[in-house]
Amino acid sequence: MIRFINVVKKYSDLVALKNINLEISDGEIFGLVGPSGAGKSTLLRTINKLEEVDDGQILVDTINVCELNGKNLANYRQKVAMIFQHFALLNTQNVYKNIALPLEARHFKKKEIKEKVLKLAEITGISDKLDSLPTTLSGGQCQRVAIARALALDPKILLCDEATSALDPNTTIQILDILKKINKELKITIVIVTHQMEVVKYICDRVAVINKGEILEIGKTEDIFLYKNKALETLVDEKPIVPTNGKNIKLIFPKKSASESLITKMARDLNIDFDIVWGKLEKFGDDVLGSLVINVKDKDFINVLTYINKTDVKYELIKGDNKDDISR
């Protein structure tokens, strides 16, 4: 487990991290999101002490990272790998040598190095590129090399700092699938910093929303995004276009809900008509969750609300561009 306890980081008069308290469980994929300059990357880099904190503690299992230095810090960093947006590969060395570099630096035997490199190349899908130079590879292939190299020393934690920001959408999904695979098969805890909301929805178990050095919200990914909160307003600019007449009710369907037939059943049971004016399905990990907005006549509103309250569906009342204060 990674625990931040009252962590403070300052740059001169700027407080980059303000009393951060956060727990990341073993084996989960955790996202850190927020606007530029929010403190996401700074927080990430304190986990491997690339950034030192001014106050507080960072505990990884029983190790206080803030107190590490010298050989103890070097040994600890072997278990906390990191990948970046721009890959940081050696362009004069082929893929094999790039993956082998951490092993060679620690004087592993050639046979051990070869076995490890071949295994990691297979996991990341670059077995046919071992003799190639990075300059001949695509961005996605370069990131696969970077992931393989990061895994060379069998880390327990993998830090990803905007690791897919330079990639196209299809390649991003391929890289995320690799990260999912190594998280599941190798039991590696992954912490991801990203501006890409679709990345967080696709891969993260939980997410923390950060702004101005403070954590504004922590929760399950689907809860943070489906039940939109103030913390996300600067990151997700999405407002349904709805009629000005009648009442507009946004329905949010939870995971494993038995409410897929709610709309037709409600119309039949209440003997009323209403319009579906907006809807969206989103993929959160392996689940497809959704929300939609229905427009009902004023005279039917109380009956519809009473009906919805008997189900497991969450709702918000939307009036024009502003949310009313009726929600559940």
Which superfamily is assigned to 2-232 in CATH? P-loop containing nucleotide triphosphate hydrolases (3.40.50.300)
Q: What is the pLDDT of residues 6-65, one digit of tens each?
A: 999 999 889 999 999 999 999 999 999 988 889 999 999 999 999 999 999 999 998 999
Cβ contact 316:323 at 8 Å:
yes
Q: How far apart are CA 139 and CA 87, in angstroms?
A: 8
| HSE-up (13 A, CA, CB side) for residue 283 | 7
pTM, 2 dp: 0.80
| pLDDT for residue 188 | 96
Q: Quick check: do 2-232 and 247-327 share a fold? A: no
pLDDT surpasses 50 at 208: yes
Q: What is the pLDDT of residues 112-149, one digit of tens each?
A: 999 999 999 999 999 999 999 999 999 999 999 999 99
Q: Please name the residue that has the structure tokens 């196209």.
A: 168
Residue 21 tokens read as 């308290």
Torsion of CA 85, 89, 92, 97, to 10 degrees: -150
pLDDT band at 325 (very low <50, low <70, confident <90, very high): very low
State how far the alpha carbon of 118 is from the alpha carbons of 27, 113, 125, 153, 186, in Å.
24, 9, 10, 14, 16
Residue 180 tokens read as 């999912």
| pLDDT for residue 291 | 78
SS3 (DSSP) at 132: coil
Cβ contact 116:155 at 8 Å:
no
CA 228 from chain center: how many Å?
Answer: 16
Amino acid code (one letter) for 65: V
**Helix boundaries (H) for the chain:** 40-46, 70-77, 95-105, 110-124, 139-150, 169-186, 197-203, 221-226, 262-270, 301-308
Amino acid code (one letter) for 76: Y
Amino acid code (one letter) for 301: F
CA 281 from chain center: how many Å?
Answer: 18
- In CATH, which of 3.50.50.60, 3.30.70.260, 3.40.50.300, 3.30.390.30 is domain 247-327? 3.30.70.260
Q: What is the mean pLDDT of residues 151-166?
A: 94
State how far the alpha carbon of 121 is from the alpha carbons of 96, 106, 128, in Å.
8, 20, 8
Local structure of residue 96 (DSSP, 8 states): H
Residue-range domain boundaries for the chain:
2-232, 247-327
Q: Which value, in Å, is the radius of gyration of the alpha carbons in the chain?
A: 24
Cβ contact 21:37 at 8 Å:
no
